[in-house]
Structure 1
Amino acid sequence: MSKHHPPKLADADLSKRLAKHEYFSQLAEFQAQLTLIQQAFLFHGIKGVLVFEGWDAAGKGGTIRRISQALDPRSFKVWPIGAPRNYYLNRHYLLRFWERLPPDGAISAFDRSWYGRVLVERLEKFTPEERWRAAYREISDFERMLVDDGTRLVKLFFHISPEEQMKRFSERLRNPLKRWKLTYEDFRNRERWADAEVAVEEMLSRTSTETAPWYVIPANNKKYARIKAMRAIVDVFSKDMDLNPQHLDQRTLDAASQALELDRALIDGLRARTE
């Protein structure tokens, strides 16, 4: 097995773009795949976890929305992660994430995640250095336990340039329907871009493993980023997975045969698939 090489921000080609017609064609294809994956997860009891990290305005939310369109909300949950409330401040930082992990058959998406420990908490000095540095090992152990328990894990970092971020801030300011997304913290965080870049690079280097690799998504073009992210998710979630529609059991078919006016050949054909 080849040695895993953690990605770097510089590896992401921010010039990548996707034409509108290609985007909508691939979007429909990947959404259809996600629907099949969710059905297979439910049937086989597989769990999935998605981690979305990235710069402010990098397109995490837009990608999550396109994924949500394909999935039944009864077994797909999005967790927007902000500052912890006092209950969690007095406990281990991983507790609130343990509590939000999916049950068998379900998928959970974290919009921001446990990586706040080595990003926000590091940059804002909310946590002593020896504790956030210990988090590299703690997080890798945590993710290894998830994967060993049968959870499929995909970690995505959405990377944009500072110039593109400013364009998106301006768009949010001008658009009344997007203005709610813009906060003082967005501009404050920009002043720490260089420091944040160092923290991100170290995070990628220390926590991208064979078991739980990072995917850096070039996101200057939103359409390209969404498709790139969805392709990574589909690849990991569908690996060695039978995505064919699951067969009905004989008891259900017996009930359907009695209750519904169906072509006999249809029922017989479905019966044959269960044998």
Structure 2
Amino acid sequence: MTKHVSERVPKLKNADMNLRLDKETYEKKLAELQRKLAQIQQAYLFSGQSGVIVLEGWDAAGKGGTIRRISAALDPRSFKVWPIGAPRRYYLARHHLLRFMERLPPSGAITAFDRSWYGRVLVERVEELTPRQRWQAAYREINDFERMLVDDGTRVVKLFFHITPEEQLARLEERVKNPLKRWKLSYEDFRNRSHWDEYSEAIDEMFDKTSTAVAPWHLIPANNKKYARIAAMKEIVGCFGKGVDLDPPTLDESVLAEARKHFNLKPDLLESLAGRTE
């Protein structure tokens, strides 16, 4: 049975929406976190560990901007971002988790889902796209799915980006005015605002039913984009880096032998590259 821990369960009303970061602090923390992410990715490549990042949130809440800062730190050969939209007909005829199973990271890789399997209990619930008994069953199915991932050695970090209706409206206006952001805007962004209360209820129930000891939800106050990016990246680094050796990898003896031939390397560097033998 999946264990729920009450102190881990966030609520929208409890988020401090006034949290901010100044530019200088933001840039310093961003550089630190990006360096840590690069170290974690390198460690995963050698250890075979894997990680899944789930990003949910209101329209225009800043998920994309956070993903760009994460992507800037990681080698794309072992980092993949899946933008999740409405399922195509092939998946509509199959279990709702199938398309996500097919996109899970292989050993040594990290995958980010820009929206996720939680659409079952959010948009499909609010828009009445799924029968009530099926989206209610999804809470148990999702918990079992995430438990399976964690048991199999995949770390899962779940982030929800929360903004106020006023901040969302301001960002939608910016998208209208800025030609470089206009591609992000759709009719659905405005239509969904009429269901704000229904979505709020669904989000809080999602937290309550699926914030578990193995895969807790992290509520990110996102009215300030800089604060949200740093808060989200801290959660990712904390989850993916816990108990992981982030020291640079040692080199195979054959590689070291060639390095000795070609380079004038100091003895202490050679010792560190070979690793400890005692």
Q: What is the rounded CA distance, in whole Å, between the counterparts of 1:268 and 1:180 in structure 2? A: 52
Note the C-alpha offset of 1:72. 0.3
Q: Which residue of 1 aligns with 2:103?
A: 100
Which of residues 28, 31, 47 in structure 1 aligns to 2:31? 28
SS of the aligned residue for 1:190 comes to: helix
Deviations 1:182-206 (A, max 9, x none): 1000000001101111111100110
CA RMSD of aligned residues (A): 1.5
Pairs within 5 Å for 1:14-53: 14-53=17-56
1:44 partner letter? S
SS of the aligned residue for 2:219 comes to: strand
List structure 1 segments (4+ residues) > 3 angstroms apart after TM superposition: 1-4
1:39 partner letter? Q
Which blocks of at least 5 consecutive residues in structure 1 are unaligned? none
Which of residues 187, 211, 215 in structure 1 aligns to 2:214? 211
Q: What is the rounded CA distance, in whole Å, between the counterparts of 2:39 and 2:249 in structure 1? A: 10
2:216 partner letter? P
Q: Which residue of 2 aligns with 1:59?
A: 62
TM norm structure 2? 0.96
1:70 partner letter? A
Which blocks of at least 5 consecutive residues in structure 2 are unaligned? none
Q: Conserved in 2, the CA contact under 8 Å of 1:40 and 1:241?
A: yes
Pairs within 5 Å for 1:2-151: 3-5=5-7, 6-151=9-154
Q: Which residue of 2 aligns with 1:244?
A: 247
Q: May I ask how many residue pairs the two structures share in their alignment?
A: 274
Pairs within 5 Å for 1:252-271: 252-258=255-261, 260-265=262-267, 268-270=270-272
TM norm structure 1? 0.97
CA 1:250–1:90 in 2, change beyond 3 Å: closer, same or farther? same
Deviations 1:197-243 (A, max 9, x none): 11111001100000110000000000000000000111111101110
Q: What is the rounded CA distance, in whole Å, between the counterparts of 1:2 and 1:107 in structure 2? A: 26
Note the C-alpha offset of 1:252. 1.4
SS of the aligned residue for 1:108 comes to: strand
1:230 partner letter? M
2:201 partner letter? V
SS of the aligned residue for 1:23 comes to: helix
SS of the aligned residue for 1:79 comes to: strand
Report sequence identity in percent.
64
